[in-house]
Amino acid sequence: MAHIDRDGRKLLARVRRIRGQIQGIEKALEGESDCTSLLQTIAATRGALNGLMAQIVEGHIREHVIDPSQPPTPEQVAAADELVDVVKAYLK
Predicted confidence (pLDDT) per residue in 17-44, tens digit:
999 999 999 999 999 889 999 999 999 9
Q: How far is CA 42 from the centre of its chain?
A: 16
Q: Quick check: 2 pLDDT over 80? A: no
Q: For 44-70, what is the mean pLDDT?
A: 91
Distance, in Å, from the CA atom of 24 to the CA atom of 46, rounded to the nearest integer, reads 13
Whole-structure pTM value = 0.81
In percent, how much of the chain has pLDDT > 70? 97
> Any idea what DSSP says for residue 71?
P
Written out in words, the top-level CATH class of the domain with range 2-91 is: mainly alpha
Q: Quick check: 1 pLDDT over 60? A: no
**Domain boundaries along the sequence of the chain:** 2-91
